[in-house]
A and B are shown apart, each in its own frame.
Chain A
């Protein structure tokens, strides 16, 4: 019977309401908060700071270290066990890879920039929310970066191509495809691409175009969040 109308009444290319803030964590060098629908992410940046053990240091450039963590009651079902798991370790890694291309780490060799992403509540799209928050936090920390990244999940629910899937949509009975993507704003370079489900080549191209448009909107919100913080300061 397909999927004529989205569960929450959104248009197919419409995201859930987004809010963002910079500088929410006082003791961090930089921080960001990103909320999309019911998914909420905090990111805190510490550094550049000294990196130990020594063998992790890189004398050519700094190291970026990300940590993705879901809080105990942030899922929609049972209590989530916080801390490193197969899933959270993978997401930490992809977050790192999504952010590294924009950072100019050569300014601080042998040092590290730590990014901690915490999710107090989630409703699908948590890795994307985490990347968006981390991008704000890194800029807030005054780290030299050529651009900002924005990330969004997009895909197919039953036969409809949609952007920003919610958890209910991801678990649609007729099957859903969820593709997490992140783009560097100016160049539209793809820094994250993960998929769960199946799509045809043509559909993928179309979905990516939808995601790019959504990322432009996210970027606008990220920029405003940063400007607001420093304008008020």
Chain B
């Protein structure tokens, strides 16, 4: 007979007994020892049918294939660029993946991306040795110039984006700023004036701080309405 020892959506701590018996299956962040399932990291317990999973709440970003991230160019190589991904591992952007146009061998790579440039890129491959390859081919992937960057907890990124991007578009409507959120916890904000950018930054920080309290969208809406000087604009600009 299997028995669940912890309720769903509670905070669990490493080593905590989650379930006994063979009726449940350990998934991400949990492990089985004999006939019991234990927590293998700190986080929120998620139960999906018989599968027990832990959703992380803290920790650094680990590159994962398919993620869209914001990275900074740190070095120019013979055949591409090395970028900082805000994680323990650096990534390589090869010449082939850098742009849709053909880059001649031996061309001056700084014409495309200079050291210090930020790019929105996609992680295409991560090896077992954690060698990361990124690509600039894809919709919305580009060099980011101007604006400002801020660091957020990577596990709060889904809250900042919201359901189908609802949270980001809410902020965009009120501040008229361009916002791009990378899975690695870097956020790029660019607006017409500094005040709008500052408000956006404040709103994002507020989301990060209060992500766990219910009614987040309403609170952010209220916050933006009481603080923004301009009238909310309906999304008309094509920029995502």
| A-B pairs, 4 with minimum CB distance | A142-B59, A147-B15, A111-B88, A142-B58
Task: Of the listed stretches B40-48, B160-168, B198-206, B230-238, name the one at the interface; the rest are far from the partner chain.
Answer: B40-48
For chain A, the bracket of interface size reads: 35 or more
Q: Nearest CB to that of B56 among chain A residues?
A: A142
Q: Is A143 close to B, CB under 8 A? A: yes
B62 touches A142 (CB 8 A): no
For residue B222, CB closer than 8 A to chain A, the reply is no
The answer to whether B15 and A142 have CB atoms under 8 Å apart is no
Please name all residues of chain A whose beta carbon is closer than 8 Å to the beta carbon of B29 when the two chains form the complex. Answer: 144
Interface size on B, residues (CB 8 A): 29
**In the docked arrangement, what's the CA distance between A61 and B29, Å?**
17
Contacts of A139 in B (CB 8 A): 13-14, 41-42
Residue of A nearest to B209 (CB): A233
Q: Could you say which residues of chain A place their CB within 8 Å of the CB of B155?
A: 142
Residues of B within 8 A of A10 (CB): none
Considering residues A110, A142, A144, which has the most beta carbons from chain B within 10 angstroms of its beta carbon? A142
The distance from the CB of A114 to the nearest CB of chain B, in whole angstroms, is 11
Extra 11 A-B pairs, beta carbons < 8 Å, given A142-B57, A146-B40, A147-B14 = A29-B59, A30-B58, A47-B60, A49-B60, A110-B130, A139-B41, A139-B42, A142-B59, A148-B13, A226-B11, A233-B212
- In the bound complex, do residue A230 and residue B11 qualify as a contact, i.e. CB atoms below 8 Å apart? yes
Contacts A30-B58, A233-B212 hold; do A227 and B15 have CB atoms under 8 A apart?
no
CA distance A138 to B87 in the complex (A): 17
Residue A21 lies at the interface, judged by CB distance under 8 Å to chain B: no
Tell whether, in the assembled complex, residue B40 and residue A104 are in contact, meaning their CB atoms are under 8 Å apart.
yes
CB-based nearest B residue for A227: B11
Contact residue among B57, B90, B128 (Cβ-Cβ distance under 8 Å from A50): B90
Q: Which of B15, B31, B58 contacts A148 (CB 8 A)?
A: B15
Taken together as a complex, chains A and B put the C-alpha atoms of A231 and B213 apart, in Å, by 10
CA of A140 to CA of B153 in the docked complex: distance in angstroms? 13
Interface-central residue, B14, B15, B87, B130, by most chain A CB under 10 Å:
B14
Contact call A144/B41, Cβ cutoff below 8 A:
yes
Q: List 7 A-B contacts (CB under 8 A).
A: A30-B58, A110-B129, A139-B42, A142-B56, A144-B40, A146-B40, A184-B15
